Structure 1
Amino acid sequence: MTPEPATFPGYRFPASIISYAVWLYHVFGLSLREVELLLAERGIVVTHESMWQWCRKFGAGFVRKLRRRRPKSGDTWHLGEVFLKIGGELHYLWRAVDQHGVVLDILVQGRRNATAAKRFFKRLLVGLKYRPRRLVTDGPHSYGVAHREVMPEVKHWTSRYLNNCAENSHRPTRRRERKMQRFKSPAQAQRFLSSHAMIYGHFRPRRHLMTAGEYRHARAQAFQLWREETRVQAAA
């Protein structure tokens, strides 16, 4: 007997379809209307408004589950920030990645000063519950102030040339920003980018450092973990 598909309470579509739509939206840089079209081709009629609700409600939950399952991050943290134009005002996206390019966390703030840097450092420590061996940042003095007050025992290197990991990790954000025609509010940017950074990165191992066999194995593991956390355990 074929088992009934797993569902989320209160939703008429199976959990597999909801998780598939969220996966498409975050991994491939598609708009919600484009995801709607792809699903329609498969005979699944659902509006882009419904998918927006799915991504908003389930995206953060999926990310929390993936975070719990991922291995401990590296001991070198690369920190950087990039500006975002939101509602005609300048904001900054603070991002931390480890030496392997894995995104540790992001935070959207309205300032680029020492107070903002300290807030981001404290957020990282609370979320990861351990301290790195080394911090790598670029030029702003705000990083030095935050380092001395929050993590003085950690080695701090300042170099624009050693921080390519952080700089490169901003590229998917820029592509999505253009696709979405800018973010509508700081809260919306924070909510979306927190989910996007984790889900996108989960399916993007550093392929250029792997053999073909290693990459296929990593990809299979990523899919298995995604299925477990979004379609079976999450819906049980």
Structure 2
Amino acid sequence: MPTSLNPFRRFRYPAEVIQHAVWLYHCFSLSLRDVELILAARGIVVSYESIREWGLRFGRLFANELKRRRPRPGDKWYMDEVFIRIRGKQHLLWRAVDQDGNVLDVLLQSRRSAKAAKRFFRKLLKGLQYVPRVIVTDKLRSYAAAKRDILPGVEHRQSRYLNNRAEVSHQPTRRRERQMQRFKSARHAQRFLSTHSRIHNHFQLRRHRLTADQHREARSAAFGTWRDVTGVASAV
């Protein structure tokens, strides 16, 4: 990798330490101080503020590269929105996953209107060369209005019971929200959750559907991709 493109240039700690700290922070429900303690146990003395800076600076690079390398998502998309309170004001976190549980994208907005749904649809489709075969949502009418304008030929199933896959996908966000004692701003929440959803989801291997050997192989492949991604992040 050319020195001029090296994102780790001028950092005192080596790339292996920085990427490991980012991995710990996003794969587990750990605070910055928890990560600081884990690194200290391994003889690496670094402040939690430095770890925060690494997460902001490198987390998005790693997450974007993971998104670029991900396999083509499934053709059945589940969508849902959940309330998040930030500084006393309610926001809506829109999220979409495919039939395999892979998080496609998230978007934090202040409303659940048709305009907000259209904005989310456009963000989902940005950069893709295809549209889904079917989308599954709850009975929020904003989805139907957005679907008519943006995905007119796609089958739309609306049910409060068929959408459990998307609802369950909010759980890691709720855990991090509690750990962080709520998000400090809408901008901070969007930036963190966009990064967190991609890194965390990369290591969620649906173990209940894999044999022990298949799980080990999938886990090794996930770590291999992660090592590649953290080495080429400057190319994003």
Residue 179 (1) aligns with residue 179 (2): yes
Q: TM-score scaled by structure 2?
A: 0.95
5+ residue gaps, structure 1? 1-5
Check conservation: 2:96, 2:106, Cα contact below 8 A.
yes
Judge conservation of contact 2:101–2:169 (CA < 8 Å) in 1: yes
* 2:11 maps to 1:22: no
How do 1:166-205 and structure 2 match up within 5 A?
166-205=166-205
Alignment match, 1:228:
228
Q: Does the aligned pair in 1 maintain the 2:118–2:150 contact within 8 Å? A: yes
1:219 is paired with a residue whose SS is helix
- Percent of matched pairs sharing the same residue: 58
**Residue aligning to 2:78:** 78
Alpha-carbon displacement from aligned partner over 1:33-68 (angstroms, at most 9, x marks no partner): 000000001110110001101000100100111112
Aligned AA for 2:179? K
Quote the Cα distance in structure 2 between the aligned partners of 1:148 and 1:7: 43
In 2, distance between residues paired with 1:7 and 1:157?
44
Task: State the TM-score, normalized to the length of structure 1.
Answer: 0.95
CA positional deviation for 1:235: 6.7
CA distance in 2, matches of 1:67, 1:14: 24
1:216 matched to which residue of 2? 216
Q: Distance in 1 between matches of 2:128 and 2:184?
A: 29
CA displacement at 1:128 relative to structure 2: 3.0
Q: Structure 1 residues 118 and 97, CA, compared in 2 at 3 Å: closer, same or farther?
A: same
SS in 1 for 2:61: helix
Q: Indicate the SS of the match to 1:132.
A: coil
Cα deviation, residue 7, structure 1:
7.4
1:8 and 1:14 in contact (8 A); partners too: yes
Within 5 Å, which residues of 2 pair with 1:95-106?
Answer: 95-106=95-106
> Contact 1:96/1:103 (CA < 8 Å) preserved in 2?
yes
Equivalent in the alignment of 2:164: 164
The amino acid of 1:88's aligned partner reads: G
Shift in Å at residue 164 of structure 1?
A: 1.1
Q: Distance in 2 between matches of 1:129 and 1:220?
A: 29
Q: Distance in 2 between matches of 1:29 and 1:129?
A: 34
Structure-2 separation of matches of 1:115 and 1:235: 35
Gaps of 5+ in 2: 1-5
C-alpha distance in 2 between matches for 1:210 and 1:226: 21
Structure 1 residues 235 and 155, CA gap change in structure 2 (3 angstroms): closer
Indicate the SS of the match to 1:174: helix
Partner of 1:88: 88
Q: Which residue of 2 aligns with 1:3?
A: none
User: 2: CA distance between counterparts of 1:235 and 1:92?
Assistant: 32
| Structural RMSD (CA) | 1.3
1:195-232: per-residue Cα shift (whole Å, max 9, x none)?
110100101111111111111111000001101110x3
Cα drift, residue 233 of structure 1: 2.8
Q: Indicate yes or no: 2:9 matched with 1:13.
A: no
